[in-house]
Structure 1
């Protein structure tokens, strides 16, 4: 995961335009809010990225913890949300030290593809410790083995056409093809899981999980899973 952390801490061109970036994070915030069931819940966004609309998420819950491994991104989060008393910014190391049974909802969106299977197991162990017995883990934007980059491109272009930045998206795709992102993706690769494999992986870490009806974000060809403590399910 270190290579990807370094990439996202750099000046990258993964978004086609400011409009693309803003819509991306706005949609994610909306979908996260959909999983919050009470105004007093503690929510942890694990490897949150820029989280531009985190304030909207914070309005829907009691406390929002933004956990981000990239130091530069984390610094921007601290500066952006310092006045907001309902938002805390933490490193992943800080998260590992948090009290047991202290979180109601953990969201890991567009994260698992950048982690080795061993790193993901360790993250699941940390999350299981943090979640209250009634808590939920939501894992979004999971890449499927049978769905490749062409469908990611199609999903982006469809999203861009719907929201008025198609030209920027086409230029952005060309830039991405020539960028460090494409080279890093080819060299390091991205982890992909079938529905059965992800459910089985979660079961080995003490979770009972099901696939959600729709994915977090704009790409319907990726998957989202909702997991609970195995003993908490009836």
Structure 2
């Protein structure tokens, strides 16, 4: 995951435009809010990225913990949300020092593909320790082995066409094809999981999981899973 952390900590071109970036985080915030079942909840966003719309999520809960491994991104989060008393920014190492059974909802969105299987297992162990017995883990944007990059492109273009940045998206796709992202993706690769494999991996980590009807974010060809303690 270190290569990907370095990439996201750099000046990258993963988004077609500022409008695309902002919309992406607005959609993610909306979807996270949909899983918050009580206003006094403590929510953990694991490897949250820039989390530009985190204030909206914080408005829907009592405390929002933004855990981010990239130090540069983490610094920007601290600066951006310093005035918001509901938001706490943490490193992934900080999570290991948090009180167990202190989180009502944990979300990990578009993260598993960048982790090795062992890193993924370690993250699940940390999250399981932090979740309350009644808590839930939501894993979003899981890549499927049978779905290739073409579907990612189609999902982006459909999202762009519906939100007024189709030209930027087309230019962005060309830029991405020539970018460090494409080279890094080719060199390091992305982890893909079938539904059965994710459910089994979560079971091994102490969770009972099922696939959600809709994926978080704008890509309908990826998967979201909701997991609870299996006890």
Is this a same-fold pair by TM over 0.5? Answer: yes
Paired residues for 1:14-93 under 5 Å = 14-93=14-93
The whole-number CA distance in structure 1 between the counterparts of 2:75 and 2:127 is 23
The whole-number CA distance in structure 2 between the counterparts of 1:107 and 1:66 is 10
Q: RMSD of the TM alignment (CA)? A: 0.3
> Residue 215 of structure 1 aligns with which residue?
215
**CA shift digits 1:150-190 (9 cap, x unpaired):** 00000000000000100000000000000000000000000
1:163 and 2:163 correspond: yes
TM-score by length of 2: 1.00
Name the SS of the counterpart of 1:84 in structure 2: coil
The whole-number CA distance in structure 2 between the counterparts of 1:65 and 1:100 is 14
The whole-number CA distance in structure 1 between the counterparts of 2:121 and 2:65 is 21
TM-score by length of 1: 0.98
The whole-number CA distance in structure 1 between the counterparts of 2:96 and 2:74 is 16
Q: How many equivalent pairs are there? A: 231
> Residue 97 of structure 2 aligns with which residue?
97
> Residue 194 of structure 1 aligns with which residue?
194
Name the SS of the counterpart of 1:169 in structure 2: helix
Name the SS of the counterpart of 1:133 in structure 2: strand
Name the SS of the counterpart of 2:61 in structure 1: coil
The whole-number CA distance in structure 2 between the counterparts of 1:146 and 1:190 is 13
Structure 2 unaligned spans of 5+: none
Paired residues for 1:135-174 under 5 Å = 135-174=135-174
1:4 and 2:7 correspond: no
The whole-number CA distance in structure 2 between the counterparts of 1:40 and 1:172 is 40
Residue 97 of structure 1: how far off its partner (Å): 1.2
**CA shift digits 1:193-223 (9 cap, x unpaired):** 0000000000001000000010000000000
> Residue 224 of structure 1 aligns with which residue?
224
Name the SS of the counterpart of 1:224 in structure 2: strand
Residue 96 of structure 1: how far off its partner (Å): 1.4
The whole-number CA distance in structure 2 between the counterparts of 1:120 and 1:130 is 16
Q: Which runs of 4+ in 1 moved over 6 A?
A: none
Residue 50 of structure 1: how far off its partner (Å): 0.2
Name the SS of the counterpart of 2:138 in structure 1: strand
